[in-house]
Amino acid sequence: MYACICHAVTTAEVDAVVALGAKSVKQVRKATGAGSACGTCVKRLSCLLAAARVADSAPVDSMPEAERLPVPAPTRPARPALPALPVFEHAPDCPAALPALG
């Protein structure tokens, strides 16, 4: 699979560069040319780097907090505020105002 279409750099090539010691997108760009044309693949490259770091690292609890991938907190969609309902009063002769006959 291609990591960078502009320079035909595959994910395997990025993995090989990371295995040789690349630790940033800039280092991957210097070694392969990926990310130096249109820039669309820069996010993909950073994800590949992060995945390689996680795969080669110790358990998450022992990693420095600055190196941990952020875990988004679950969020609920905001509910729109409902308008206040008007208070209706029935006229005294209205059938709805009369007590129920039982």
Q: What is the pLDDT of residue 102?
A: 46
Give CA angle at 9 (31, 57), nearest 5°: 65
Q: How many CB atoms lie within 10 A of CB 68?
A: 13
Helix axes 11-19, 25-32, angle to 10 degrees: 110
Q: What is the dihedral of CA 78, 83, 84, 90, to 10 degrees?
A: -140
On whether the 2-58 domain is CATH 3.40.50.300, my answer is no
Highest mean pLDDT of the ranges 18-22, 26-30, 88-92: 26-30
Separation CA 31–CA 91 (nearest Å): 84
Domain coordinates of the chain in residue numbers? 2-58
pTM for this one? 0.53
